[in-house]
Amino acid sequence: MRIARFIGGLLTGLIALVLAVALFVFWFDFATGMAAASGLGALGYVFLWMAFGLNLLLWTVMGLLRLTEDGARAALRRDPEHKRNRALARGHEREKVLVGAGGGDTGETVVATSGDDEGTLIRTPSGGGSVATDPDDITIAVIIPAHNEEPVIDAAISSALGLFNRWDIYVVSDSSKDSTAEIAAKTGVNVLELLTNRGKAGAIEAVIEEFALTENYDGVLILDADTELHPGYVEGAKRQLADPDVAAVAGFVVSEWKPRERNVVGRVISAYRDRLYFMLQYFMRFGQTWKRLNVSFIVPGFASVYRSRALEQITVNPPGLVIEDFNMTFEVHHKRLGRVSMNPDTKAFSQDPFTFRDYRKQVGRWTLGFWQTLRRHRLWPGLFCLCLALYVFEVVLVSLLFLVTVAVAAFVLLGTFAGDMLTGIPFFTDSFTAVTAFLPLTALAIGLLVPDYMLTCMMTMIRRRPSYLFYGLFFFPIRIVDSYISLRMIPKAWTAESDGRWSSPVRVSNKDR
């Protein structure tokens, strides 16, 4: 059976690869011909590559540079001569210990050197606490904020219990109307039940204050109630926190793929999210979190770790925001608390919406939260805001162009198949003739659909899931909805206030799986 699955996956990958290459060659040949014929010159080629996203291309290049640097360092570590030199250096450094003058609590930095990044102890000035950079010595508290999460809270706690001691896990039930708090209490973890609904950010703030978590732990992991951690998550997070410059470790989200539990709509959403997360993380955030740049504008709130000394300076729950993760990330950058780190070794599995209604509401909250955070912090001088401005510019421009192009395509489609019935409408025939002369139906179809489906073929090859070739046919309408929501939430972010209170989506219990 394993051999059959392996062969099937291999064939799926090869078919998807051939299809992706064929589509790219066809699209590129057609698109370059159109760009040249339109007379737009270099501008035409810019619009051509915007089909994939200029930010995506930029950060893919940065990610490759980061990968090259990391690979060179790994090769250097394996070099015998390098190891011998490092060993000699450690031998010399063990003879030297730098101690603050006077030996008292002077607020000066004290460093005990061991000759390697791991095992170094750094005490920050003025009683800021100690940061143990040996990964094994780093302590992490787990916060699970929950509101009416009875179907999934047990699975989230069980996942955390597989990696943490129960006394290091803190569930905060934010005025749940179901058995969330009771289920959590039966597992033996710490439980805080709030009588009034404060929202996720308010619940996080309350449990940190109640148990003094930033005073008792080196880091705090914020875990959604529908998230399950990969077995290697803690090891990866601690390894990244071993760098004292890291203020936050961004979790690497993986969309759970359990098609038997979902109807067709749910499978399309899950497959679409899988493609989206893969591209955003490997092709954008990996480059954005390169330590030479540090410009990632989101530390996802589903499973991410904040260093305690940074979290103490973050305003977790400012008034008027619908979600917390964008704001907390902006605080890290704005207050210069350190850098955001992300590697694929901190994977966690997230449950995607099961219905299109829940999907639309979730995307609306996320998008509104982004624009509200931008409104709150505005822009300040620095590389982070420069990259953020480029991203915002592309999001707005591409969303506008995308919706306009879709509207033009609908107009051309209507005129092509129902033109005879619409000839009596004033200016319709002349408008249709003018539009199709510049953008024929084939050009619109190829320009809109082929690049999108090309990405689906790539994901089919990577995941080796042949069903993606079918579900990918329905991704395009979801992109239309995403573009509309991106623009719709801009004015709402400046006109609507939010208390951040929860709205529970449809959940599926592990017991039903």
Model pLDDT for residues 57-101, shown as the tens digit of each residue? 889 999 999 999 988 888 887 766 655 665 555 554 444 443 333
* Cβ partners under 8 Å of residue 133, min gap 6: 117, 118, 119, 120, 121, 122, 242, 243, 244
Closest alpha carbon to 9 in 470, 466, 469: 466
pLDDT at 247 over 80: yes
**Structure confidence at residue 83 (pLDDT):** 57
Res 443: pLDDT: 75
Return the pLDDT at 378.
Answer: 92
- Percentage of the chain lying above the pLDDT 90 cut: 58
Q: State the DSSP code for 260.
A: G
Residue pair 422/428 in contact by the 8 Å Cβ criterion: yes
Angstrom distance (rounded) from CA 207 to CA 212: 8
Average pLDDT over residues 498-505: 70
Find the helix or strand (DSSP H, E) in which 136 lies.
Answer: none
pLDDT at 434 over 90: no
Q: Pick from 239, 219, 458, 201: which is nearest to 342 by CA?
A: 239
Q: Which structure tokens are listed for 439?
A: 């953008």
Q: How far is CA 284 from each of CA 60, 347, 371, 506, rounded to the nearest angstrom?
A: 6, 16, 19, 30
Q: What is the DSSP letter of 302?
A: T
Those residues whose C-beta lies under 8 Å from the C-beta of residue 143, and which sit 6 or more positions away, are 170, 172, 204, 207, 208, 213, 220, 221, 222, 223
pLDDT at 64: 94
Structure tokens at 77: 């570590």
Task: Please name the helix (run of DSSP H) or strand (run of DSSP E) that holds residue 304, with its range, or none.
Answer: strand 303-307
Task: Kindly state the tokens that stand for 123.
Answer: 């005490």
State residue 118's pLDDT score.
41
pLDDT band, very low/low/confident/very high, at 201 (cuts 50, 70, 90): very high
Q: What is the pTM of this model?
A: 0.84
CB contact at 8 A, 32 and 48: yes
Structural contact between residues 510 and 334, judged by C-beta atoms closer than 8 angstroms: no
- Can you list the pairs that 55-59 forms with residues at least 24 positions away whose Cβ atoms lie under 8 Å? 55/284, 55/390, 55/391, 55/394, 56/279, 56/283, 56/284, 58/287, 58/390, 59/283, 59/284, 59/285, 59/286, 59/287, 59/288
- The DSSP secondary-structure symbol of 198 reads -
Average the pLDDT over 434-447 and give the result: 75
If you count them, how many residues does the chain have? 513
